């Protein structure tokens, strides 16, 4: 499996909603990026220059200049080329490794891929969101699941790194839809995946539905739905890891602005950590169940990779409390450098 903590980093340059042909039901890039205006070439150069000076050569070679927050390949061509050109002087030997962009699955074709290659784009992330055509349609995505397959094939065969992004809990999506989406994304085998549980923001279609009481979320907010979504996401993370697909982002970036403009949905500033702790909980529980020693009142020592002790223990010792209260088991978690990340030995 790929190492969990790669040294990769991005210099993120946001182009909020640039090129977007539709307004997707859940999206408000102005809140997420905290930016209203589009950057011009000189600003791109300044951002790259600052980052360049703050990194040594080794860090630079693991860093891409990333244009996020819009549909990059659908941006008016002159402006798109202006952005790409302004980044060129910072790419190459002893400089940054390339350019990363995010875009829509229906805005990829051989001609645009050729142009991106020419400008040293190395990685392309597609917002797939769901692989249910019905869910895509009611969330105003304007593309189909087949577009995700087609665009992914073109990106791979042109030699780019492929990233896919999915959103859990969109309007009218069911758990079955999410599981189907995860299976189909695994069948594409992208290099990277981002998983975002839906967060309902003001000034979006989902926000309007929510405020008028017409939005039914697939996990009932009255019944600790965040906990259910953590379990679901942890389960999907395990599936992606099994297929050697790198998870580069789980949950929306923690931000006071998102918190201010959030109406509902599934958000926690440490969402990824909660999911990783849940992966440990499930592993330990499955092992103890298999051995028939749950509720035995015994004490067990669990050995985990030293980097993962706090994940296995859980936030506020949540896993330790869970086993003690719910399963009648006392756990002691200790570090062991011979054990891989997300593996356990008892």
Please report whether residue 151 would count as binding ligand SF4 according to CB under 6 A: no
- Told to check if 139 binds ligand SF4 by CB under 6 A, we report no
Q: What angle do CA 307, 248, 124 make, to 5 degrees?
A: 155
Shorter beta-carbon distance to ligand SF4: residue 127 or 314: 127
Q: How far is the CB of 170 from ligand SF4 (least distance, A)?
A: 11
**206 touches 26 (CB < 8 A):** yes
Residue 17 CB, shortest distance to ligand SF4, in Å, is 5
Region from 16-24, 44-52, 230-238, 253-261 binding ligand SF4, contact rule CB under 6 A? 16-24
> If binding is defined by CB under 6 A, does position 105 make contact with ligand SF4?
no
333 binds ligand SF4 per the rule CB under 6 A: no
Interface with ligand SF4 in residues 115-134 (CB under 6 A): 127
- State yes or no: residue 23 binds ligand SF4 (CB under 6 A): yes
- The torsion angles phi and psi of 178, rounded to 5 degrees, stand at -65, -40
Tell me the site size for ligand SF4, rule CB under 6 A. Answer: 10
Whose CA is closest to 312, among 341, 287, 271? 341
| Residue 71 sits in the site that holds ligand SF4 (CB under 6 A) | yes
**Shorter beta-carbon distance to ligand SF4: residue 23 or 180:** 23
Q: Which of 21-29, 143-151, 173-181, 205-213 is the region at the interface with ligand SF4 (rule: CB under 6 A)?
A: 21-29
Query: Does residue 70 bind ligand SF4 (CB under 6 A)?
Result: yes
- Six token digits for residue 90: 């910072």
Instruction: Compute the least distance from the CB of residue 186 to ligand SF4, in Å.
Output: 22
Q: Which is nearer to ligand SF4, 196 or 280 (CB)?
A: 196
The single residue among 24, 112, 302, 329 that binds ligand SF4, judged by CB under 6 A, is 24
**Whole-angstrom Cα distance, residue 124 to residue 131?**
18
Question: In whole angstroms, how close is the CB of 182 to ligand SF4 at the nearest point?
Answer: 19
> Taking the complex as a whole, how short is the minimal distance between the CB of residue 71 and ligand SF4, in angstroms?
5
Closer Cβ to ligand SF4, 14 or 323, answer by number: 14
Q: Tell me which of 27, 108, 198, 245 binds ligand SF4, using CB under 6 A.
A: 27
Between 263 and 341, CB nearer to ligand SF4: 263
Please name the residue that has the structure tokens 């789980």: 250
Give min distance, CB of 187 to ligand SF4, in A. 23
Contacts with ligand SF4 by CB under 6 A lie at: 17, 20, 23-24, 27, 29, 70-71, 104, 127
């Amino acid at each position: 499996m790929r190492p969990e903590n790669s040294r990769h980093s991005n210099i993120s340059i946001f182009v909020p909603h640039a090129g977007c042909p539709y307004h997707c039901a859940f999206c408000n890039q102005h809140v997420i990026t905290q930016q209203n205006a589009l950057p011009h070439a000189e600003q791109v150069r300044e951002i790259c220059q600052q980052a360049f000076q703050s990194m040594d050569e080794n860090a630079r070679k693991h860093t891409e200049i990333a244009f996020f927050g819009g549909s990059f390949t659908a941006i008016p061509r002159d402006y798109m080329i202006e952005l790409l050109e302004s980044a060129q002087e910072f790419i190459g030997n002893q400089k940054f490794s390339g350019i990363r962009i995010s875009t829509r699955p229906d805005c990829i074709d051989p001609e645009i891929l050729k142009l991106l290659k020419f400008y040293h784009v190395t990685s392309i992330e597609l917002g797939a969101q769901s692989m249910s055509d019905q869910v895509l349609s009611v969330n105003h995505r304007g593309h189909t699941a087949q577009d995700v397959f087609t665009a992914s094939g073109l990106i791979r065969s042109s030699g780019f790194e492929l990233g896919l992004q999915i959103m859990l809990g969109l309007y009218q999506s069911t758990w079955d839809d999410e599981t189907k989406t995860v299976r189909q994304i695994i069948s594409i085998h992208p290099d990277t995946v981002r998983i975002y549980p839906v967060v309902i923001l003001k000034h979006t279609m989902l926000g309007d539905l929510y405020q008028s009481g017409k939005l039914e979320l697939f996990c009932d907010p009255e019944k600790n739905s965040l906990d259910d979504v953590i379990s679901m996401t942890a389960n999907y993370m395990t599936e992606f890891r099994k297929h050697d697909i790198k998870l580069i982002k789980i949950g929306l970036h923690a931000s006071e602005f998102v918190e201010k403009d959030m109406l509902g949905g599934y958000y926690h500033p440490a969402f990824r950590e909660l999911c990783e702790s849940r992966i440990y909980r499930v592993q330990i529980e499955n092992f103890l169940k298999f051995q028939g020693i749950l509720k035995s009142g015994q004490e067990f020592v669990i050995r985990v990779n030293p980097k993962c002790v706090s994940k296995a223990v859980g936030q506020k010792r949540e896993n330790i409390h869970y086993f003690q209260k719910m399963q009648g088991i006392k756990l002691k978690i200790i570090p062991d450098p011979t054990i891989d990340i997300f593996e356990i030995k008892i």
